[in-house]
Structure 1
Amino acid sequence: MRLQDRGAIVTGAASGIGQATAQLFAAEGAKVLAVDLDQEKVVAAHKGNERITPLGQDVSAADAPERIIKAALEACGRLDILMNNAGVSLGAPFEEFTDEAWDRTMAVNVTAHFKLARAAVPHLKASPAGRIINVASVMAEGTDYGLAAYCASKAGVAGLTRNMALELGRHGITSNYILPGAIRTGMTVNFKDEKIADIWARKSPLKRLGEPIDIARGALFLASDEGGFVTGHGLNVDGGLMLRV
């Protein structure tokens, strides 16, 4: 019960990393507001879990920060942990990348993180263990074909988080980011092809793909008292994928 009686927000919580993290946080004693674009999916993902309250919300909408914080306080009574996990990956060759795809990627992957964290800060200041956890990617430090916006956005998440750590530390708030590697989630649809999944699994020294729970466990460490003296840090949870880059 490492998060006993704490209040948490987890975005992108209808599947994958967000779903696993919301459920792990709840199992460790937190009350959780699980946010996702699709109301039906986020309700179904956490059906029967009394410690998790689902909320359908586009995190990039203008009123999202106000709505999410209000819902979190109503559901949890307090706010101690914010995990910005919602993200999109829109791929295309650089010369063909549209303004719309670029803007959407930045709006969800970076700007929404900034705005929700900013709205959460007054409440995190009141917490004895305020935590901000942003989900970046190993692509924040690497790159691949067709991922110009995704790589730029995840590098932005890393830079944003380090700055928040610097400025918010005096209030006792830690800010860290996680760099997942090849994780079997809905975003990585190609992993449904076993040949592609095997190629990525063999790139890791551990010889397997990551699972959402692997990332959730890293988030739990950063959210708990054990991670209380860690801030401004990028936690690689990639099975050693980037060792040979």
Structure 2
Amino acid sequence: MAEDSRVALVTGAGRGIGLATTRRFLAEGWRVALLDIDGELLGHAMAELAAPDRTLALHCDVSDASAVTAAVRRAGGHFGRLDALVNNAGIAVFKPLLETTPEEWNRVLAVNLTGPFLATLAAAPIMAEGGGGAIVNITSISGLRASTLRAAYGTSKAALAHLTKQQAVELGALNIRVNAVAPGPVDTAMAKAVHTPEIRRDYHDTIPLNRYGLETELAETIVFLCGDRASYITGQVVAVDGGFEATGIGLPTLRAARRNM
């Protein structure tokens, strides 16, 4: 592996979309710093990847400003450069609006919105020193359309989508592109834990492709946006959702009518 191969830092890399994205980066020849709040999960991921010369584990809470700064600097020093940042770490509280506590609200926004802000503050100067780079923020379809039980989560992701545009406008002068990926329903551990069979049927009813997405499908888009093939794309929020965000009413009725034709 060439010493000048590009370097990505992925937050929330211990599992799910973050780990799938790490695998995709490694497959394309990148080196990767994996950051996660769960040290045990991070250790399992590192063991599974079995690429000690091309990976670095960073145990960190993305809402802790000093810890994030130290972790990002460590990644830059370890690899000698930083070319991409994927702000994937996130948490969710699925509760009715009037049952969501101020503490839960604050924690969700601290991780999902302040975390990407802090990581960008630390990473952008290192990228600029190397001539530029790319940042991808992982928002959510819940930040584009409202649904029940997601007051804190959906609001944090909607704000992150706008932060993406703010970052793109200001960091373009440093040759840093910033985009967001908004996953729709994806078969992650979180979705499997909270989506009942009834909820899954409801999603299928409103997704034109009639299925949940795969973590690997999200990873493909994320890595694309970090690479040279996306060199003139910045300030965009790309929904990777099987068409869910585009759907209005009537799709189940239309499907039923087609079956009866």
* TM-score between the two structures when normalised by the length of structure 2: 0.88
Q: Is the 8 A contact 1:37 1:58 kept in 2?
A: yes
Distance in 2 (alpha carbons) for counterparts of 1:14 and 1:81:
18
Name the % identity.
37
Q: Secondary structure at the match of 2:233?
A: coil
Q: Using the TM superposition, give the Cα deviation of residue 157 of structure 1 relative to its aligned residue in structure 2, in angstroms.
A: 0.4
Q: Using the TM superposition, give the Cα deviation of residue 23 of structure 1 relative to its aligned residue in structure 2, in angstroms.
A: 1.1
* Aligned residue among 52, 55, 58 for 1:52: 55
Note the alpha carbon deviations across 1:148-182, whole angstroms, 9 max, x for none. 11111001101111011001111111000001000
Q: Tell me the residue number matched to 1:37.
A: 37
Q: Within 5 Å, which residues of 2 pair with 1:118-197?
A: 118-190=121-193, 193-194=196-197, 196-197=199-200
Q: Tell me the residue number matched to 1:101.
A: 104
Q: Secondary structure at the match of 1:142?
A: coil
Q: Is the 8 A contact 2:91 2:111 kept in 1?
A: yes
Q: Secondary structure at the match of 1:178?
A: strand
Note the alpha carbon deviations across 1:125-167, whole angstroms, 9 max, x for none. 1234410110000111101111111111001101111011001
> Does 2:22 align with 1:19?
no
Distance in 1 (alpha carbons) for counterparts of 2:184 and 2:71:
28
Q: Secondary structure at the match of 1:58?
A: coil
Q: Is the 8 A contact 2:17 2:216 kept in 1?
A: yes
Q: Is the 8 A contact 2:208 2:247 kept in 1?
A: no
Instruction: Return the letter of the residue paired with 1:84.
Output: N
- The runs of 5 or more residues in structure 1 that have no matched partner are none
Q: Using the TM superposition, give the Cα deviation of residue 20 of structure 1 relative to its aligned residue in structure 2, in angstroms.
A: 0.3
Aligned-residue Cα RMSD (Å) equals 1.8
Q: Secondary structure at the match of 2:65?
A: coil
Q: Tell me the residue number matched to 1:221.
A: 224
Q: Is the 8 A contact 1:129 1:228 kept in 2?
A: no
Instruction: Return the letter of the residue paired with 2:51.
Output: N
Q: Is the 8 A contact 1:9 1:82 kept in 2?
A: yes
Deviates more, 1:189-198 or 1:30-39: 189-198
Distance in 2 (alpha carbons) for counterparts of 1:15 and 1:122:
28
Distance in 2 (alpha carbons) for counterparts of 1:75 and 1:27:
20
Distance in 1 (alpha carbons) for counterparts of 2:96 and 2:195:
23
* TM-score between the two structures when normalised by the length of structure 1: 0.93
Deviates more, 1:174-183 or 1:69-78: 69-78
Q: Using the TM superposition, give the Cα deviation of residue 7 of structure 1 relative to its aligned residue in structure 2, in angstroms.
A: 1.0
Count of residue correspondences = 243
Instruction: Return the letter of the residue paired with 1:214.
Output: E
Q: Tell me the residue number matched to 1:201.
A: 204
- The runs of 5 or more residues in structure 2 that have no matched partner are 249-261
Q: Is the 8 A contact 1:8 1:76 kept in 2?
A: no
Q: Tell me the residue number matched to 2:252.
A: none
Q: Tell me the residue number matched to 2:247.
A: 244
Q: Using the TM superposition, give the Cα deviation of residue 202 of structure 1 relative to its aligned residue in structure 2, in angstroms.
A: 4.1
Distance in 2 (alpha carbons) for counterparts of 1:192 and 1:213:
20
Q: Using the TM superposition, give the Cα deviation of residue 71 of structure 1 relative to its aligned residue in structure 2, in angstroms.
A: 2.3
Instruction: Return the letter of the residue paired with 1:147.
Output: R
Q: Is the 8 A contact 1:22 1:52 kept in 2?
A: no
Deviates more, 1:198-207 or 1:235-244: 198-207
Distance in 2 (alpha carbons) for counterparts of 1:129 and 1:228:
11
Q: Tell me the residue number matched to 1:66.
A: 69
Q: Tell me the residue number matched to 1:6.
A: 6
